[in-house]
Each structure stands twice: as structure tokens, then as C-alpha cells.
Amino acid sequence: MENIKTQYVFSENNQVSIKTNKEENEWYPINFQWIPVKKLSESMNQ
């Protein structure tokens, strides 16, 4: 699995999306159920 680093996060109607490229205006929905809680916690605390 590839890591995604971005500062672009958008939330609307309980759906969180991220933008992976500054030049393109493509937003990708995130399903947080795909991310193990421990891994998410570790990555946010770095």
C-alpha cells in the first residue's frame, strides 16, 4: 500500500475526501473503515 501525503481534506455530508495532487482538482473519498485504528493513530501522532 502506498502512503498518501496531503494537506487537502474536505468534508461534506459525513463524507471525507482528500486531494492528492495540487494541480488537478480531483477529490477522492475516504472510507475510514479501510484504515486500521492503530495505524491511523500512529500516523497522526508522528
**Structure confidence by residue, pLDDT tens digits, 1-46:** 567 777 778 788 878 887 877 777 787 777 766 666 667 777 777 6
* pTM for this predicted structure: 0.42
Q: What was the pLDDT predicted at 14?
A: 79
Q: What was the pLDDT predicted at 1?
A: 57
Q: Measured at the alpha carbon of residue 10, what is the angle toward residues 23 and 31, in degrees to the nearest 5?
A: 105
E strands, the chain, are 8-12, 15-19, 27-30
